[in-house]
Amino acid sequence: MKTLAIKSRTLHKWLMRFIGIQMLIWAVTGLYMVSLDIHFIHGETLSDEKHTAFPLNDATYPIASLLERYPTATDIVLYKRLNTLAYRFKLANSKQWTVIEATKGGVLGLLTQSEAAEIALHAATTSGTIASTKLIDLPQATPAELSPRWLPVWQIKFDDLAGTTFYIQQATGQIVTRRHTYWRAFDWMWRLHIMDYDDGENVASPLLTLLTILATLAIISGIILLISRLIPARKIAVNKGGVHD
């Protein structure tokens, strides 16, 4: 047992010197991620969509007419774009949305800068004001916190402490992504946790696998070392009790 304890002590010491910092990073990042509500991180509390509610009977332009006019239309959605009730849908062989009025069937154009700002102000729960408005329509100009599949979008930034940012699709006027400082911190915590410092999507990297194995060995050697120290202490306590009797 003594030999095993010595080997465990040596192994544990060198392993912790090598991966101790990363184990601390795992603990800190894990604590941050489990301490925050995931709905908050996703930005669900940043906006209130109650203003987009509407009675169904307000849609006086029937879907049958829409399908007769656009026979290849798919993914048809009835929604409210600012003060206009509209249908959004995609046509065959097209990735872009087509938007028409749900009352008269007129085609709605792309969202303007002022319309995007108005949507953001109506939806935002923050007390901050709009700090900047920017159209993003090129994949190479897409920030890391936004998926390029939503392009083109209006980026609306608020001047609040949370750094609230809305991304509103230019074609439909829908808020497709909500971001804030806590999400950005969560994103980096996740990257540090899985040791993927590029895009945070590779959870099976060789480096992570290697350090996980080494961490497991460090924990096992630490347990063995703890047991080896507890057993002699227990024997001494028993012997002392025998002498006392």
190-231: pLDDT as tens digits:
988 988 877 667 677 788 888 888 888 888 887 887 777 777
The secondary structure of residue 107, as a DSSP letter, is: B
pLDDT at 15 over 80: no
Query: Domain-by-domain residue ranges, the chain?
Result: 2-38+187-239, 44-179
Nearest Cα residue to 65 out of 80, 98, 87: 87
Q: What is the pLDDT of residue 50?
A: 76
Are the CB atoms for 191 and 200 separated by under 8 Å? yes
- % of residues, the chain, pLDDT over 90: 54
Q: Where do runs of H (alpha helix) occur along the chain?
A: 2-35, 38-41, 63-69, 113-123, 181-194, 206-244
Residue 3's SS3 state is helix
30 band by pLDDT with thresholds 50, 70 and 90? very high
Structure token pair of residue 117: 């700002």
Are the CB atoms for 155 and 161 separated by under 8 Å? no
Q: Which of 4-8, 139-143, 176-180 has the lowest mean pLDDT?
A: 4-8
245 band by pLDDT with thresholds 50, 70 and 90? very low
pLDDT at 242 over 70: no
Q: What is the pLDDT of residue 243?
A: 47
Are the CB atoms for 111 and 120 separated by under 8 Å? no
**Strand-pair partners of 158:** 130
Structure token pair of residue 217: 């060995």
pLDDT at 52 over 50: yes
Q: What is the pLDDT of residue 236?
A: 47
79-136: pLDDT as tens digits:
999 889 999 999 988 888 999 999 999 999 999 999 999 999 999 998 889 999 999 9
Helices 2-35/206-244 angle, 10° precision: 120
State the Cα–Cα distance between residues 23 and 19, nearest whole angstrom. 6
- % of residues, the chain, pLDDT over 70: 90
pLDDT at 161 over 50: yes
